[in-house]
Amino acid sequence: MAPSRRPWYRILYVQVIIAVLIGVTVGFFWPDAGKSLKPLGDGFVKLVKMMIGPIIFCTVVHGIASVGDIKKLGRVGVKALFYFEVVSTLALIIGLVVVNVLKPGVGISFHADAAAVSASAGLSEKAHALSTTDFILNIIPNTFLGAFVTGDLLQVLLVSLLVALAVAVMGERGRPVLHVIESAGQVFFGVMQLVVKVAPLGAFGAMAYTVGAHGIGSLKNLLGLMLGFYLTAGLFVVFVLGGIARWCGFSIFRFLAYIKDELLLVLGTSSSETALPGLIEKMQRLGCSKSTVGLVVPTGYSFNLDGTNIYMAMAAVFLAQATNTPLDLPHQISLLLIAMITSKGASGVTGAGFITLAATLQAVPSIPIESLALLVGIDRFMSECRAVTNFIGNGVATVAISRWEKEVTPEQLRAAL
């Protein structure tokens, strides 16, 4: 018996589309009313900010501590982490290059309210005033919980890293702690799922304000960012992942056809986690060993997020352009380094890319985090592309590591595909 389908009006994706269209209409015909709806978008951003610290802590600790399996699989784990870092960093660099060439955020001139500007300026001045020694010392929180109270993400990441290493060193004795952290992470993501339900309201307010305050022309910039992101992700899949596939002895297009059912599932839910069981089964069917698949696929969900990395690089620079925040090469390199860390806290859960973008902006105080309101209305559409690109990247990574380990031959891959 086929499962009953949800009514179309209860699907979040449809709700966000309707909310965006209504928001554009209100902002265009009643600009003053549209500008007054700004608190709806701001409120949604604050709800997301509220969950950043706990979610990043749980996902980073669980992701790193779980890699204790590397000791058992040794060589495979090291190769996997090396592959993840190289390809993920390449994705960030490509995103930075494309957004600097296209400049989709130039011309928006987004301005936060006076209090937000003052707070952002104060943080920026404080960051510039710190010496290198002060900056390093400032990463260390005064207390363990202090990192979560202040909302300083670099402090949260430091605490997460130390806890993860401690749990990993404990070995089997650390398993109960890991289970508790995993359960806590599920609770926090459960809260995020509740927060995501009000995304249509946030999208409505954000789009009404954007059009009301900046005119219908501002949508051109958002559309430019979306198209630029989709184009960049597509080129990344075809040329970068396609090049890796060719090196492994198979065609990226045949591979995409092989996992088409899982891709449709990811596309429908905007989450690559929903298709995780199917990916594991199909990778084993290709000839990849169970041990390699068991390590590479789950680890890749925390460490190999190509789509999320492209999105974070492009969206962060877009917001800098939209807020007239100057970002020279050294600043963009520091942004890249921070994104390399914060992206490790993302997962296949819907909206995680938006969370990690917020986390990255918190670590780069020169870009006002209030500007995130610009992206609330289109984030759902970009989430589709993030999830699909992440999913394809993890599939290709699994095959690449298996080929590196000589578990499967090009002939076997071509025959299976």
Please state the rounded mean pLDDT for residues 312-316.
85
The least confident of 98-107, 188-197, 350-359 is 350-359
pTM of the model: 0.65
Q: Render pLDDT for 69-96 as a digit per residue (tens, 0 to 9).
A: 555 556 777 888 888 888 988 988 898 8
Q: Residue 392: which pLDDT band, with cuts at 50, 70 and 90?
A: very high
| pLDDT attached to residue 160 | 81
| pLDDT attached to residue 329 | 77
Instruction: Locate 156 and state its tokens.
Output: 């949260």
| pLDDT attached to residue 239 | 93
Contact 321, 104 (CB under 8 A): yes
| Domain annotation for the chain: domains and CATH numbers | 8-416 (1.10.3860)
Q: Residue 124: which pLDDT band, with cuts at 50, 70 and 90?
A: very low
| pLDDT attached to residue 242 | 92
- Report how far residue 48's alpha carbon sits from residue 60's, in angstroms, rounded to the nearest whole number: 18
| 243 or 141, higher pLDDT | 243
Q: Render pLDDT for 146-163 as a digit per residue (tens, 0 to 9).
A: 878 776 666 777 888 788
Report the percent of the chain where pLDDT is more than 90. Answer: 6
- Report how far residue 237's alpha carbon sits from residue 415's, in angstroms, rounded to the nearest whole number: 22
Give the range with max mean pLDDT: 2-11, 65-74, 128-137, 193-202: 193-202
Q: Residue 126: which pLDDT band, with cuts at 50, 70 and 90?
A: very low
Q: What residue has token string 């430091």?
A: 158
Q: Render pLDDT for 36-52 as a digit per residue (tens, 0 to 9).
A: 888 887 787 678 777 77
- Report how far residue 292's alpha carbon sits from residue 73's, in angstroms, rounded to the nearest whole number: 8
Contact 405, 292 (CB under 8 A): yes
Q: Render pLDDT for 345-388 as a digit per residue (tens, 0 to 9).
A: 554 444 566 667 777 776 666 777 777 777 776 776 777 788 88
**How many of the other CB atoms lie within 10 Å of CB of 232?**
24
Eight-state DSSP code of residue 85: H
User: Helix 153-170 crosses helix 132-139 at what angle (to 10 degrees)?
Assistant: 60
